[in-house]
């Protein structure tokens, strides 16, 4: 896929940013090339627990609370930059193994975000979708999530894709089950299965693959995230912990991405 944005080449970005910017933010923003903004950015939001510990909090939930603010800022920034899709790894299938109190707090934070931010998502023309084994979240969260999805479904700006009870292996397993069922009932010929057939059975097959994957907190891992979709995605790892990840850090990631030469395995330009 190619990178694109909703801005025309040469159009300055600054007027599209609603918020008053600091000098650093403005300087960074002015360096961003509008027609080379990554269209789809995926983020592994890591480091909430470490952030809480470093702040002296005993409860790591304080890190998740602070991380919710970063989610809000990242959505605003992605939207202002004219990105098409922002996929956030909010809760993995592995996260179900965390202590019950932490899971409960994370579900409450998600519910709070979904209840309180619908207005803001609509103001910013953001459409919400979710990827993962959504029914695992339980009927209450599913109801609130579906309401937020419905309430924002007509928006045409940024698509915010929340990965919830998500893991790549679960996504692949679910796709394999669908493919096997279709082969069994005769609607899919096993000998003729193509890569496109597999892509079409991902949770949100309509989304283009991510152009840029950001991981916060410095860990060099993919953690079971979108492994099919990131085959040619540029990876950016920052030591910044997710609760500290601000607009400026998002700009830095976009600028770093713009320095990359994407070849998709094809010949080099020498
Ligand atoms: C990883 O940090 C982060 C998570 C498991 C959850 C991410 C959740 C949020 C950012 C807040 C709620 C989300 C929304 C969409 C409102 P970690 O706990 O693994 O950190 P550590 O590696 O430092 O322990």
- Looking at the chain, list the stretches that DSSP marks H as alpha helix, in order from N- to C-terminal side: 23-31, 48-54, 61-80, 100-116, 118-123, 139-151, 168-184, 195-199, 247-259
More confident residue, 16 or 231: 231
Residues 86-113 have pLDDT tens digits of: 999 999 999 999 999 999 999 999 999 9
DSSP 8-state code for residue 201: T
Q: Two tokens at 137?
A: 């979240």
Q: How many residues does the chain have?
A: 270
Provide the CATH number for the domain formed by 36-166+209-240 in this structure: 3.40.1180.10
In this prediction, residue 14 has a pLDDT band, given cuts at 50, 70 and 90, of low
pLDDT attached to residue 33: 95
Q: What is the pLDDT of residues 33-76, one digit of tens each?
A: 999 999 999 999 999 999 999 999 999 999 999 999 999 999 99
> CA–CA separation, 110 vs 65, rounded Å?
10
The CB density around residue 208, as the number of other CB atoms within 10 Å, is 14
- The Cα–Cα gap between 79 and 210 comes to 16
**Which residue's alpha carbon is nearest to atom 5 within ligand 1?**
91
Sheet with 127-131: strands ordered across: 127-131, 159-166, 85-92, 40-44, 212-215, 234-237
Of 16, 59, 95, 208, which one is the catalytic site residue? 95
pTM: 0.93
Which is nearest to 241 in space by CA: 202, 214, 207?
214
Contact of 55 with 62, CB cutoff 8 Å = yes
What is the residue extent of each domain of the chain? 36-166+209-240
Dist. CA 120 → ligand 1 center (Å):
22
CA dist 132 and 202 (Å) reads 10
146 is catalytic: no
Q: Quick one: pLDDT at residue 267?
A: 72
pLDDT value for 4: 40
Tell me the pLDDT tens digit for each residue of 153-201.
999 999 999 999 999 999 999 999 999 999 999 999 999 999 999 999 9
CB 51 within 8 A of CB 243: yes
Q: Is 95 a catalytic residue?
A: yes
Probe target for ligand 1 pocket from 42, 44, 49, 121, with the most ligand atoms within 8 Å of CB: 49
Judged against a pLDDT cut of 50, whether residue 8 lies above it is answered with yes
- Name the β-bridge partners of 62: none
* pLDDT of 6 strictly over 50: no
- Binned at pLDDT 50, 70 and 90, residue 152 comes out as very high
- Give the per-residue pLDDT at 9: 52
Q: Which atom of ligand 1 is nearest to the CA of 88?
A: 15
pLDDT at 2: 35
Could you give the CA distance from residue 166 to residue 94 in angstroms, rounded to a whole number? 8
* Residue whose CA lies nearest to ligand 1 atom number 8: 90
Give, using CA atoms, the residue closest to atom 3 of ligand 1: 46
CA distances from 150 to 132, 161, 165, 182 (A): 17, 14, 20, 29
């Amino acid at each position: 896929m190619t990178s694109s944005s909703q801005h025309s080449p040469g159009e300055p970005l600054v007027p599209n940013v609603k918020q008053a910017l600091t000098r650093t933010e403005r300087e960074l923003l002015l360096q961003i090339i509008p027609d080379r903004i990554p269209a789809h950015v995926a983020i592994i939001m890591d480091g909430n627990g470490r952030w809480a510990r470093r702040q002296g909090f005993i409860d790591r939930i304080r890190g998740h609370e602070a991380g919710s603010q970063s989610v809000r800022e990242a959505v605003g920034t992605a939207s202002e930059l004219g990105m098409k899709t922002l996929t956030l790894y909010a809760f993995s299938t592995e996260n179900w193994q965390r202590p019950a109190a932490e899971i409960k707090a994370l579900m409450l934070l998600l519910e709070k975000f979904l209840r309180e931010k619908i207005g803001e998502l609509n103001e910013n023309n953001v459409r919400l979708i979710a990827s993962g084994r959504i029914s695992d979240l339980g009927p209450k969260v599913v109801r609130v999530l579906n309401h937020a999805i419905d309430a924002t479904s007509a928006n045409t700006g940024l698509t915010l894709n929340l990965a919830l009870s998500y893991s790549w292996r679960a996504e692949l397993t679910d796709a394999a089950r669908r493919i096997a069922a279709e082969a069994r009932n005769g609607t899919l010929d096993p000998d003729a299965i193509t890569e496109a057939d597999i892509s079409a059975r991902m949770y949100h097959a309509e989304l283009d693959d991510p152009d840029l994957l950001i991981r916060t907190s410095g860990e060099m891992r993919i953690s079971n995230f979108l492994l099919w979709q990131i085959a040619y995605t540029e990876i950016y790892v920052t030591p910044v912990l997710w609760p500290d990840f601000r607009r400026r850090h998002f700009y830095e990631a976009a600028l770093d991405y713009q320095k990359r030469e994407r070849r998709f395995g094809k010949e080099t330009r020498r």
